[in-house]
């Protein structure tokens, strides 16, 4: 397994190009199943999860090809017909977002078999809402041998209320509803920019959706969708991670290809901690870390609140802030595995249930640590950059799932980090 070797203690300075959003590209790729025509997606990040989704499409018998652009990749996908309609366990266990093919497969091909994702490192993560919603649209769903088996000759529009706001749940139901007969109303829908980006793409394909970007989506089903060309939005979590990197190392970074409107909550919190962030043009942000960071409390929430996917990175910064920061995680029940690793580097963190109290500032010192999930790995990289001495981060395959060549981007801005390959 690859590891990162990091020599910390240097402020980062320079320009970083932010990649396209993995969490917007994945549903966009699944949406290609909704039409027999060609789909062209630009600004697709070069990360492992995208490769997993391509393998899944390949498994279904769908052709995709990739071309490298100056920034990101262009993917062409055409789902003329299917060889089979099964998303196998081997792929779903690598990436839970594989569940995103369920809605489109059912809507266009009347049947889908998708492995149940099971638990994951950050909590139980059920898919009950995806299934309940599809049942509401008239699907018959059976759980057999670890698989979801969904069938429906033609889905029928219906009203569905999400008890809990779910990002991929909203995306799955939206993709199912665009080809359903009649009108579907999705209430308490997720408002994340990635959901809105998918809606924008679906409308380009001929879907009729009202309320895009709000928590109430009204979808008028159509008989068929056509191909479309679309540019994936910038990754707001990668943006937030590099803003935090500037803050925690006391450096100055210029981030290019960003969407500032998508990182308002993260910027507000980093500014409260003392990081100076100013826009430069429409799609650039300049972040300058202060001499002394201040503690600021954070509660994760659905968009437009502070994203759970930035909680771990923020915690690394909080260890370097003066005073106590109370971090409250409201989205996932077990998302503090990185805290224990940060403590091994010298942080003072008390976790109790969904709350973590970080007392700062404590000097961090390099240590061997282990990444437990995608965002936890980013947190450890940030801590390692702020620490004195050498940190060896194990299991960085997690970070490769969602960050495009992070070590190369970091080296360009002065970090001393290198990938240690397995013998
Ligand atoms: C997506 C993101 C992930 C992010 C998360 C929350 C993708 C590919 N992944 O994950 O990076 O951390 O949103 O912003 O976009 N829940 C249920 N029943 C369901 C579905 C969800 O109870 O059927 C619960 C979950 O356990 C969790 C909460 O709802 O507590 C939010 O999860 P959800 O928004 O569904 O996360 P994902 O879409 O899996």
Tell me what pLDDT residue 315 has: 98
Tell me what pLDDT residue 333 has: 85
Gap from CA of 381 to ligand 1 centroid (Å): 24
21-61 pLDDT, tens per residue? 999 999 999 999 999 999 999 999 999 999 999 999 999 99
> CA distances (Å), 322 to each of 87, 255, 295, 358, 364, in order?
48, 26, 5, 10, 14
159-178 pLDDT, tens per residue? 999 999 999 999 999 999 99
pLDDT of 121 higher than 70:
no
Positive or negative CA dihedral for 375, 381, 387, 393?
positive
The reply to whether ligand 1 has any atom less than 6 angstroms from the CB of 164 is: yes
Gap from CA of 164 to ligand 1 centroid (Å): 9
H/E stretch holding 89 reads: helix 89-92
* Ligand 1, atom 1, residue with closest C-alpha: 167
Positive or negative CA dihedral for 366, 236, 25, 93?
positive
Which residue, among 322, 269, 304, has the nearest Cα to 192 in the 3D structure?
304
Is 130 within 8 Å of 173 (Cβ atoms)?
yes
The reply to whether ligand 1 has any atom less than 6 angstroms from the CB of 267 is: no
353-384 pLDDT, tens per residue? 999 999 999 999 999 999 989 999 999 999 99
Is 130 within 8 Å of 169 (Cβ atoms)?
yes
Residue 421's SS3 state is coil
| CA gap 316, 376 in Å, rounded | 10
Gap from CA of 331 to ligand 1 centroid (Å): 8
* Ligand 1, atom 20, residue with closest C-alpha: 127
Mutate to test the pocket of ligand 1, among 56, 95, 125 (most ligand atoms within 8 A of CB): 125
Is 1 within 8 Å of 72 (Cβ atoms)?
no
The reply to whether ligand 1 has any atom less than 6 angstroms from the CB of 214 is: no
* Ligand 1, atom 4, residue with closest C-alpha: 309
Number of neighbouring beta carbons within 10 Å of residue 110 = 15
Gap from CA of 234 to ligand 1 centroid (Å): 20
pLDDT of 120 higher than 90:
no
pTM (predicted TM-score): 0.97
pLDDT of 62 higher than 70:
yes
pLDDT of 323 higher than 80:
yes
Mutate to test the pocket of ligand 1, among 164, 188, 376 (most ligand atoms within 8 A of CB): 164
Gap from CA of 362 to ligand 1 centroid (Å): 33
H/E stretch holding 210 reads: strand 208-210
The terminus-to-terminus CA distance of the chain in angstroms comes to 9
Is 155 within 8 Å of 181 (Cβ atoms)?
yes
| CA gap 194, 102 in Å, rounded | 18
Residues with catalytic annotation? 120
């Amino acid at each position: 397994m690859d590891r990162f070797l990091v020599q910390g203690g240097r402020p980062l300075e320079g320009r970083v190009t932010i990649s396209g959003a993995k969490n917007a590209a994945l549903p966009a790729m699944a949406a290609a199943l909704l039409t027999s025509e060609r789909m062209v997606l630009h600004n697709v990040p070069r990360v492992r999860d995208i490769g997993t989704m391509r393998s899944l499409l390949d498994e279904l018998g769908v052709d995709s090809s990739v071309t490298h652009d100056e920034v990101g990749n262009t993917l062409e996908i055409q789902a003329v017909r299917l060889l089979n309609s099964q998303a196998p366990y081997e792929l779903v266990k690598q990436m839970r977002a594989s569940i995103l093919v369920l809605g489109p497969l059912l809507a266009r091909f009347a049947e889908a078999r998708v492995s149940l994702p099971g638990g994951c490192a950050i909590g139980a993560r059920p898919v009950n809402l995806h299934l309940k919603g599809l049942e509401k649209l008239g699907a018959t769903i059976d759980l057999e041998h670890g698989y979801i088996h969904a069938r429906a000759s033609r889905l029928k529009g219906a009203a569905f209320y999400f008890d809990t706001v779910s990002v991929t749940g909203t995306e799955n139901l939206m993709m199912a509803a665009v080809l359903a007969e009649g009108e579907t109303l999705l209430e308490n829908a997720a408002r994340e920019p990635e959901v809105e980006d998918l809606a924008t793409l679906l409308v380009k394909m001929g879907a009729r959706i009202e309320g895009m970007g709000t928590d109430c989506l009204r979808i008028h089903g159509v008989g068929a969708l056509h191909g479309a060309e679309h540019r994936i939005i910038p990754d707001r979590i990668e943006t937030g991670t590099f803003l935090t990197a500037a803050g925690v190392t006391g450096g100055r970074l210029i981030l290019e290809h960003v969407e500032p409107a998508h990182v308002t909550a993260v910027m507000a919190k980093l500014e409260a901690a003392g990081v100076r962030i100013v826009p430069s043009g429409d799609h650039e942000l300049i972040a300058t870390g202060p001499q002394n960071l201040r503690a600021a409390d954070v509660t994760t929430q659905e968009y437009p609140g502070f994203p759970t996917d930035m909680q771990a990175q923020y915690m690394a910064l909080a260890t370097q802030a003066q005073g106590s920061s109370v971090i409250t995680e409201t989205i996932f029940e077990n998302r503090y595995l990185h805290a224990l690793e940060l403590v091994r580097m010298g942080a003072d963190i008390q976790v109790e249930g969904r709350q973590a109290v970080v007392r700062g500032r404590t000097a961090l010192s390099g240590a061997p640590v282990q990444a437990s999930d995608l965002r936890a790995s980013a947190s450890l990289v940030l801590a390692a950059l702020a620490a004195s001495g050498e940190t060896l981060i194990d299991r960085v395959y997690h970070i490769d799932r969602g960050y495009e060549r992070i070590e190369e981007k970091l080296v360009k801005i002065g970090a001393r980090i290198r990938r240690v390959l397995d013998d």
